[in-house]
Structure 1
Amino acid sequence: MTEKPIDLDQHRGLSAQRATESRRLLSEVEAHEAKLHRLRVEAEEQFLALPAATWEEAAVKAKYLLRLHAETLAGGDARTRRLIAAVLEDFERLSVSSAEDP
């Protein structure tokens, strides 16, 4: 036995190395997607648990819902995507200005 581990990837062809790397990356992507799905489910359960107590809480829920809807429109209607972006910008602008007011 040698003291240094042998890197088996160096002994394989380039296409086999690329295929292995692709499988590894795909596995990581799938793991991240599963984690994102779990986090979304948790967030949605919290949103449904109690009604919003303030306009800011309602805006957080609305922003989440609009972003979720915008994701489904990735290749869809450009006007709807622009409207969603404008409303999200309004929420951000108004939440900053209301936070600055005493």
Structure 2
Amino acid sequence: MTDTPIELDKHRGMAAQKATDIRRVIADVEANAKLLRDKQGVVEIEILTAPATSWSEAVAKARYVLNLYSAGLPATDTHHRDLVSAVLADLTRLAGEAT
């Protein structure tokens, strides 16, 4: 027995190597998606439990919720997408006036 690792990829075909690479990439993406979901959960708990202490915080919370809502809209629902855009523009304008 030797302490030198054997490079198994050399003994496999190119298709098998690519399949392994794809599985590794998918595993990385899934791990990152889980981290994002976990962070999203933390943000949403914070939004639910901590009341806004300023208009800018309230605007940030509203933007977050509107962006979540907008992300779930079908691409063909241009009417609701336009409504969300208009409200976000209003929030941006009014937040600038409040400071």
> AA paired with 2:54?
T
Distance 1:95 1:24, change over 3 A: same
Distance 1:86 1:28 in 2: 37
For 1:14-25, what aligned pairs fall within 5 Å after superposition? 14-25=14-25
Aligned residue pairs, count: 98
Q: Which residue of 2 aligns with 1:78?
A: 78
For 1:56-75, what aligned pairs fall within 5 Å after superposition? 56-75=56-75
Gaps of 5+ in 2: none
Distance 1:18 1:97, change over 3 A: farther
Distance 2:72 2:50 in 1: 26
Runs of 4+ in 1 over 4 A off after TM superposition: 96-99
Gaps of 5+ in 1: none
> AA paired with 2:18?
R
The farther-off stretch of 77-86 and 38-47 is: 77-86
The farther-off stretch of 71-80 and 42-51 is: 71-80
Distance 2:26 2:79 in 1: 34
1:94 Cα shift?
4.1
Give the 3-state SS of the residue equivalent to 2:28 in structure 1.
Answer: helix
The farther-off stretch of 87-96 and 68-77 is: 87-96
> AA paired with 1:53?
T
- With normalisation by structure 2, the TM-score equals 0.78
Q: Which residue of 2 aligns with 1:53?
A: 53
Distance 1:97 1:82 in 2: 23
Distance 1:8 1:75, change over 3 A: farther
Distance 1:12 1:84 in 2: 52
Kindly report the root-mean-square deviation, in angstroms, between the aligned alpha carbons of the 2 structures: 2.2
Distance 1:61 1:49 in 2: 12
- With normalisation by structure 1, the TM-score equals 0.77
